A = this chain, B = another copy of it.
Amino acid sequence: MADSPLPPGSTIGILGGGQLGRMLALAAAKLGLDVVILTPDEDSPASRVVKKTIVATYDDPKALKALSRLVDVVTYEFENVPAAAVEQLAALNVTVSPDPRALAVAQDRVDEKTFLNTAGAPTVAFAAIDSAEALAIALAEIGAPALLKTRRGGYDGKGQTWVENAADAPAAFARLDGAPAILEARAEFVRELSVIAARGRDGEIALFPLAENHHENGVLRRTSAPAPVGSATLEQAERIAAQVMAALDYVGVIGIELFQLTDGRLVVNEIAPRVHNTGHWTQDGCVTDQFEQHIRAVAGWPLGSTAATGHVEMTNLLGEEAADWPRLAADPEARLHLYGKREMVAGRKMGHVNRVRPLERG
């Protein structure tokens, strides 16, 4: 790919057809860029806002070849894109941004935490687990209760279980059906923060203001941003984001979930090499939102301003909550974003609402 930015009229391929792909496509359109979606879903949220969708599995060689002919760069909207897909795209001389290394570390929780620690980003203590015996040994070292998760797959609280004590270890390991796992020490955190950051093709970095997040049953419920944080916290977050992105030669937006511990330190919970649910507030609270920022980065454009224009409380609409749209549409305080999903499955992310109030001047 040339070093110069992709001009308007260029085409970005997106692997994945969910709401993140949809909002990325809408942001690309604002900048005069076209999008082609590759998704196995016949009727995806993203496919309805682009002219061209290739419906195929992500590692379908024919589909990837067809995609490569249509696009100037490829990005992805979720981290479980098969490695085979990005390898094939690389073989076709297609630039994939963020670099597939980010996918590799995000797809395996042990690799992820190992990478993070190597990059200088602190995490909770952890151990790779491949047997009930290994779990017992790790539990003795890390301490109970601790969280046992599959190394791969799982999101929104799926594929994880608490290990309450040593006696519970065999049963806990069995609950994951023998999948390779990671044991994570419990983080004694006072709040969950996230930093949404971007790195351009030239290495330029821009952080959005930090967000404070509230999960319920493993699913993001609410984000409040900009979060009130002191300079020490902000400096930690900036250092973590810079270290992680530099180590991955990252291009695009990244979501970094953080725990703030009782002593004020930040540890990384996980990273998502993509736009992130905890960054949806930027749509109504920042000069540039995370979707436009990601498109700017992968298209080689300069990053946009991440300055906050308001204080936002973002609430996810899960499952049947989206049926409340008539009330939300009538609420002058609510900025409604719906994803066009056909069925209100329980727990499914159907949309979100941003409520904006003026920034506190401090």
> Taking beta carbons and an 8 Å cutoff, which residues of A are in contact with B?
5, 7-9, 22, 25-26, 29-34, 47-51, 53, 287, 296, 301-302, 304-305, 307, 309-310, 322, 325-326, 329-330, 332, 335-342, 351, 356
Contact = CB atoms under 8 A, between A and B. Distances in A.
A340 B9 contact: yes
Contact of A8 (B330, B332, B340): B340
Contact of A34 (B8, B48, B50): B48
Nearest to A329: B301
A340 B34 contact: yes
A202 to B, nearest CB: 11
Nearest to A7: B325
Given A7-B325, A48-B50, A287-B335, 4 more contacts: A8-B340, A29-B340, A31-B329, A49-B51
A31 B336 contact: yes
A49 to B, nearest CB: 5
A356 B288 CA distance: 12
Contact of A51 (B48, B287, B332, B356): B48
Contacts of A326: 5, 301
Contacts of A351: 32
Nearest to A49: B29
Contacts of A8: 322, 325, 338, 340
B338 A32 contact: yes
Given A49-B49, A51-B51, A32 B329 contact: no
Given A34-B340, A49-B51, A302 B330 contact: yes
Nearest to A340: B32
Of A49, A53, A339, chain B has the most CB atoms within 10 Å of the CB of A49
Contacts of A309: 309-310
Nearest to A22: B29
A30 B329 contact: no
Nearest to A337: B30
Nearest to A304: B332
Contacts of A301: 326, 329
Contact of A50 (B9, B49, B287, B330): B49
B338 A30 contact: yes
A339 B287 contact: no
Contacts of A310: 309
Nearest to A327: B302
Contacts of A48: 29, 34, 50-51
A342 B9 contact: yes
A350 to B, nearest CB: 8
A307 B357 CA distance: 13
A307 to B, nearest CB: 8
Of A30, A50, A304, chain B has the most CB atoms within 10 Å of the CB of A30
A68 to B, nearest CB: 20
A107 to B, nearest CB: 30
A31 B32 CA distance: 21
A29 B35 CA distance: 15
Given A26-B26, A51-B49, A325-B7, A32 B339 contact: yes
A215 B338 CA distance: 37
Contact of A296 (B33, B34, B329): B329
Contacts of A330: 302
